[in-house]
Chain A
Amino acid sequence: AQSVSQHNHHVILSEAASLELGCNYSYGGTVNLFWYVQYPGQHLQLLLKYFSGDPLVKGIKGFEAEFIKSKFSFNLRKPSVQWSDTAEYFCAVMQGGFSGGYNKLIFGAGTRLAVHP
């Protein structure tokens, strides 16, 4: 079974600092990768996703992620964070091949980002 590792459980940054959140997955085959964000008191929402093609994926709110197959990584980046980026960030990989053909998301444990003004 696939697994997802997020290296940092808590990250604290000042506004305008650059952000990189690590994500590694275990599966060596074709993968579909996601980053979700959960702002305080709100639901999980999709930041960006990778299925194929350009390994540098751009998402909403200035976020991007780079898929590096050789490193089994899908790290999330933002050049300059804002206070409003304070949230929890989840990396997820789509796992398929179940009976009935359905797919399911395997999540990492999440990274809590706090941005100070």
Chain B
Amino acid sequence: DAMVIQNPRYQVTQFGKPVTLSCSQTLNHNVMYWYQQKSSQAPKLLFHYYDKDFNNEADTPDNFQSRRPNTSFCFLDIRSPGLGDAAMYLCATSRDGLAIYNEQFFGPGTRLTVL
């Protein structure tokens, strides 16, 4: 089945130690999104790629970076994780970010713990 895959499902890192989360998709969608979801809060968009064009949300900390080497893969890099970065990180895709008929398909998420 076509899907959005995130690895790993659980990631533990140390304070200040760089960490990379991975997302891949078999839907061949143009747009890939990264959301941060803290406990009991709404998913919050960090950034997205429309094809190779990167769009950063204004309030996304510089500590968060992203790479999209090809259509299928997108990575979230946290350069120096702090305790406040512990959260669930959700990857999503959509066929066309410009159209209003824009359903997003989500991966299962990676739960990040910072020690």
Does the CB pair B100–A43 fall under 8 Å?
no
The residues of A that contact B44 with a CB separation of less than 8 Å are 107
The residues of A that contact B104 with a CB separation of less than 8 Å are 105
How many B residues are at the interface, by size bracket? 20 to 34
A36, A51, A105, A110 — most chain B CB neighbours (10 Å): A105
Cα distance, A105 to B97, chains bound together (Å): 10
* Segment 39-69 of A: residues with Cβ below 8 Å from B: 41-46, 49, 51
State whether A104 and B109 are in contact (beta carbons under 8 Å apart), knowing that A9-B40, A94-B102, A110-B40 are contacts in the complex: no
Cα distance, A41 to B90, chains bound together (Å): 13
With an 8 Å Cβ cutoff, the count of chain A residues facing the other chain is 28
Does the CB pair B98–A44 fall under 8 Å?
no
The residues of A that contact B53 with a CB separation of less than 8 Å are 100
A101, A102, A107 — most chain B CB neighbours (10 Å): A102
